[in-house]
């Protein structure tokens, strides 16, 4: 049986904060709703843990976010080449965009977003209490959010995050109020979440259900659990703890799985058939001159624009050469990307230093900093080379069609 009630204000050390208590399967869950930009929430967390009532502290964090809060220098230990090889460049850039948003908040409000979550983790460790991280990996949440969006909405979301890296605008009062009442990721994606129910469900709804399942998977010794979560999760988290009947392990597995995509790369197959078929048709019907012209159109437009994008990004001459050589080939292979190849060469020739990683968050706040910082320049290389190649594909393809049917 599941019960939910409010603790009496006279005996509750955090009565001023939104909270609820849910009892289930012999475990008493005290859910403390916090504001991620509130010093009062930090004090409420400390007071709750100081009460000595809890044997387990659960926090709305995943290991990556906890490390970022606890060890700002962790970024300097990142293996950038590994990020590029594993195809996580866009995700890394998205995380930088979110970090830039949080930095602006910290500068405006005088408190680091998520300070109360860090305080909960620090207090649990200081008292040798069991610390449980119950939120889903932020990268997985971002990937699931993208998978539910169409092409143009993905472009709009990506452009918004990328613009956040370049433009140091103040965070609006409306977004700050949302943060006081809700969730950091929701505020970060607020404009898109309001317009896109699928995005809101992934960022808030799914995580409510996920965190409730993680709470039900607490170690057997857990009997009094304090869960520190954003106030925006409080109602949904309590509801799932009360009402969810599915096995928690199954829920976690389901929400950690990326939606299946078609295993057949139809666009790449059609493009390769068009390009290679066009070459063959040109040599067969028009002879060597026409066939050679078609190949030159494709190579010069894709390779030239890919190399131009790399050059605009301030790429090394070897990176520009790699972009030129890779751009005509990579669109015809589903597992290759010209931006990845040129960025790998850039990272190899101009290996980012410890100082580049440490200065990254500051450098991406200025336009010049993107070209000065070697990590940021690798990211620019990836995006601008990929963009140039994509424009070259459509332009070169159009010129080939004109030649074939002109």
Domain locations in the chain as residue ranges? 3-255, 266-405
Give pLDDT, residue 369. Answer: 87
Mean pLDDT of the chain: 82
H helices within 86-114, ranges in order?
89-109
| 0.95 surpassed by pTM | no
Q: CA-to-CA distance for 389 and 367, rounded, in angstroms?
A: 23
Q: Which of 44-53, 260-269, 295-304, 379-388 is the least confident region?
A: 260-269
Whether the Cβ atoms of residue 186 and residue 193 lie closer than 8 Å to each other: yes
DSSP symbols for 52-89: T--SEEEES--HHHHHHHH-GGGGGG--HHHHHHTT-H
Of the candidates 302, 350, 294, the one whose C-alpha atom is nearest the C-alpha of residue 323 is 302
Confidence of residue 112 (pLDDT cuts 50, 70, 90): confident
Whether the Cβ atoms of residue 261 and residue 226 lie closer than 8 Å to each other: no
Reported residue count of the chain is 406
Whether the Cβ atoms of residue 27 and residue 58 lie closer than 8 Å to each other: no
Reported as a single tens digit per residue, the pLDDT across 35-79 is 766 788 888 899 999 999 999 999 999 988 888 778 766 766 778
């Amino acid at each position: 049986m599941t019960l939910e009630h409010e603790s009496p204000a006279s005996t509750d050390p955090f009565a001023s904060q939104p909270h609820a208590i849910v009892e289930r399967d012999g475990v008493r869950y005290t859910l403390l709703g916090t504001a991620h930009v509130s010093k009062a929430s930090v004090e409420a967390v400390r007071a709750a843990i100081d009460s000595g009532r809890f044997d387990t502290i659960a926090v709305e964090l995943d290991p990556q976010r906890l490390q970022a809060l606890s060890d700002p220098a962790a970024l300097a230990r990142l293996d950038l080449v590994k990020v590029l090889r594993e195809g996580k460049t866009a995700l890394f850039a998205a995380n930088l965009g979110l970090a830039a948003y949080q930095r602006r908040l910290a500068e405006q409000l005088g408190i680091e977003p998520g300070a109360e979550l860090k305080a909960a983790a620090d207090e649990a460790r200081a008292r040798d209490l069991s610390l449980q991280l119950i939120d889903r990996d932020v990268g997985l949440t971002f990937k699931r959010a993208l998978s539910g969006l169409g092409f143009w909405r993905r472009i709009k979301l990506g452009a918004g995050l990328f613009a956040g890296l370049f433009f140091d605008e103040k965070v609006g009062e409306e977004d700050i109020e949302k943060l006081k009442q809700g969730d950091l990721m929701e505020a970060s994606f607020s404009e898109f979440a309001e317009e896109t129910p699928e995005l809101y469900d992934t960022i808030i709804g799914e995580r409510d259900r996920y965190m409730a399942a993680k709470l039900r998977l607490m170690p057997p010794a857990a009997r009094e659990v304090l869960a520190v979560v954003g106030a925006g999760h409080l109602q949904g988290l309590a509801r799932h703890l009360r009402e969810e009947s599915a096995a928690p392990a199954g829920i976690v597995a389901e929400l950690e799985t990326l939606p299946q995509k078609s295993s057949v790369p139809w666009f790449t197959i059609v493009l390769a058939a068009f390009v290679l078929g066009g070459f063959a048709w040109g040599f067969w019907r028009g002879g060597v001159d026409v066939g050679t012209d078609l190949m030159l159109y494709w190579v010069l437009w894709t390779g030239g624009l890919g190399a131009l994008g790399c050059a605009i990004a301030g790429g090394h001459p070897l990176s520009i050469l790699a972009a030129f050589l890779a751009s005509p080939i990579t669109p015809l292979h589903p597992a290759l990307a010209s931006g990845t190849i040129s960025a790998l060469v850039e990272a190899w020739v101009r290996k980012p230093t410890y100082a580049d990683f440490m200065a990254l968050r500051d450098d991406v706040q200025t336009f010049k900093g993107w070209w000065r910082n070697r990590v940021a320049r690798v990211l620019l290389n990836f995006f601008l080379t990929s963009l140039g190649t994509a424009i070259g594909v459509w332009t070169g393809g159009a010129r080939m069609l004109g030649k074939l049917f002109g």
